Structure 1
Amino acid sequence: LLSLAPALLICIANGIGVGIFRVHPLIMTLGTSLIGVGFLQVYQRTVIATGTKVPDVLAWIGTGLTGGIPNSLIVFVPVAAFILFMLGRSGFGRLLYAVGDNERAARLSGVIYWKVILALYILSGILAWIAGLIYVGLIKAPSLSLVEPRVLPAVAAAVIGGTSIFGGRGGYLGTIVGAVILTVLATLLTVLQMPEGARQMLFGLIVLAVTAAYIRITADS
């Protein structure tokens, strides 16, 4: 639970910066991510020096099986169900789409923008914390070098799944489909022995192509 504190601290800072001080989300999250990376690099040195062991429960969640089913999948299913319900059935989900689609109209409708943004970043931080714990259990060590290559594919999965980078459109089910497509693609590239750098270039091209297609379709409509 101690690891939840920095996750909440960073996401609250992001929510305040974006929601109250009107800092651009890209700039705000980039700044806090660099700060977080700096702390992680210091922590990695401590881990190497002290030989800190990953708790057995995290290793069990990350790599264990229950009835032949990966424990990480068992954790993912209820979390995914919660996100799908929240976005599709809850009032908070409707507020998120409203703010993302047209912030000004949402404000005029009485939506308190900064509260919605702050709640969104806090929820995102908690979900990122859960994913981080599972990932640490999978690799059995906190490693920055293994996480960085996953950033662009995560964006690509959302874009391929139909989420607009301009806000107001998209859904979690589409993101799951996008992630499955990228996983199949990554497996194929592994079989073809394509270097990691080439994979990153391909993922970047996918994001650009899908975004360009979305802009074209939006302009035509």
Structure 2
Amino acid sequence: MSRILLKAFLGLLMRVLYRPKVEGTENIPGSGPVILAGSHVTFVDSLFLALVVKRQVFFIGKDEYVTGKGIKGRLMAWFFRSSGMIPVDRDGGHGGVAALMTGRRILDEGRVFGIYPEGTRSPDGRLYRGRTGIARLALMTGAPVVPFAMVGMDKVQPGGKGMLHLAPVTVRFGEPLDFSRYEGMDRDRYILRAVTDEVMSEVMSLSGQEYVDVYATKARASKAA
């Protein structure tokens, strides 16, 4: 019920303020497991994604978003959980494994799992090299991958954080990618890289972003240094 109320309220607010243009929603299967994979530019990407997709979208988030104290902490926890976020301690030594297994559980239940293959927000709005967790999930579960792009989010939240600004937003969903030809090869690193690169190529086509063949975390560290 909380998710329905949150989606109804924020959906109305978003339509009034941003009037987002949504393309390709027919590419999202109406039932069964599906992976939504896209670029990650702002803090509120997952919120916009959840509001334009009819099915509930689950995604991974830092556990610190739901462990705050006091009224503010409880409100944040309610907000993120209601929007479909599943908290995972990604800073620990097994954070990547925990996130992968959580995604697999969601898909095994026949649900929709949203993921950002870059692994973190882009430091400058460009599209960075994808991590192969997306490929492992697709090959382990057999779920189709629907690439997506949210064009204009860099204007809504410049720099990926801070206050939101009013700007046109277009959400595009590409055709489902079927990787069943690689069934049983989820431990082959060459196959995992090939699958991941194919997904990122489709995301790039949808978003129009410049592609950078390095990991976003490395680019962010170099920028900070």
Report the TM range for the smaller structure's normalisation.
under 0.3
* Larger helix percent: 1
Q: TM-score, normalised by structure 1?
A: 0.25
Higher relative contact order (CA 8 A, sep 6+): 2
* Larger strand percent: 2
Q: TM-score, normalised by structure 2?
A: 0.25
